[in-house]
Amino acid sequence: MGIILSDTLVVGEDITVIEVAAQGPAGATEPPDRIITFNIANPVVGQVLGPRLPVDMTVQRIDGYTDVGTVTFNVEERTAPNTAGTDLMASDLVADSDNESQSSFADISVAADNFLAIDISAITGTPSVFVLTMHVTVNP
């Protein structure tokens, strides 16, 4: 499997969004997988706006970790960047220093032209970094 796309978007001083898409060998019939990563320095309680999605996607897994402490969060799909959206996970995930994952969702289909947003609802300790990774498949 070869990497065909890697885009980095710096969203303000403390947030970086990285998207990597992978595609199988020539002639593959499966849709490509994508990994969307949010690197958030010095996370605080509140909303972190993410990218507008260019294609329909299905969420396979969400991972989150911190350097110290915990960050409680959910990922929202939004039709507009500054309006409340629909939580992807049925309940918030508590990220800690040894990585936590979720592969069961309330909403696994994310529509093209919608936005992603991270809703951080609680923080313990003083993490200097919070990393969230979404594993998604592009819908054919």
Spatial contact of 47 and 39, defined as CB atoms under 8 Å apart: no
85: containing domain: 2-138
Instruction: Please give the pLDDT value at position 19.
Output: 55
Start-to-end CA distance of the chain, whole Å, equals 18
Q: Do 96 and 122 meet the contact criterion of CB atoms below 8 Å apart?
A: no
Q: In this structure, what CATH number is given to the domain that contains residue 130?
A: 2.60.120
Instruction: Give kind and range of the element (H or E) at residue 54.
Output: none
CB 27 within 8 A of CB 99: no
Rounded Cα distance between 135 and 34, Å, is 6
**pLDDT at 8 > cutoff 80:** no
Count of domains for the chain: 1
Give the mean model confidence (pLDDT) for residues 86-109. 91
pLDDT digits (tens, 9 = 90+) for 23-73: 544 454 555 688 888 889 999 999 998 888 888 999 999 999 999 999 999
Of the given ranges (44-48, 80-84, 101-105), which has the lowest mean pLDDT? 101-105
DSSP 25: S
Residue 43: which of 134, 132, 127 has the closest Cα? 127
